[in-house]
Amino acid sequence: MSNELKWVDFLDRLPGKPSDRAISLAIGLKSHSAVSRWRTTGQLPKPKQAADVAKAFGMHPLNGLVAAGYLTLDDVDSIFSGKQALEVNTIDTMTTIEIAEYLVNRVREESRE
């Protein structure tokens, strides 16, 4: 299953089945067009947007990052088991650049395997 399908499934399963406009408002977007593009073109949200969607609908932000394909379930397991230096509580304080740097490093590590 591709990340795009997983992200759209995640949006479709949000509590209360919110509209694109409701999701946009919940995460502070000025227009619902970005959410509509996520559904219709398969475009993925930015990492912060994925985390914000999850938080806005009562879920842990890591759920959004996994659904959007930025993290795997193995990554999350590693975080909670203390194998990674990243602490779960810091994701809210990380900038988009910091998250992107983490992801780039992870991709580099995977490409060496």
- Confirm if 3 and 68 have CB atoms less than 8 A apart: yes
Q: What is the pLDDT of residue 76?
A: 82
Question: 53: Cβ–Cβ under 8 A, 6 or more apart, which residues?
Answer: 10, 11, 14, 23, 26, 27, 45, 64
Q: What is the pLDDT along the chain (113 residues), one digit of tens a residue?
A: 456 558 999 999 998 899 999 999 999 999 999 999 999 998 999 999 999 999 999 888 999 999 999 998 888 877 777 654 444 445 666 678 877 877 887 787 777 76
The tally of domains found in the chain comes to: 1
- Provide the domain limits for residue 108: 3-112
Distance CA 80, CA 5 (A): 26
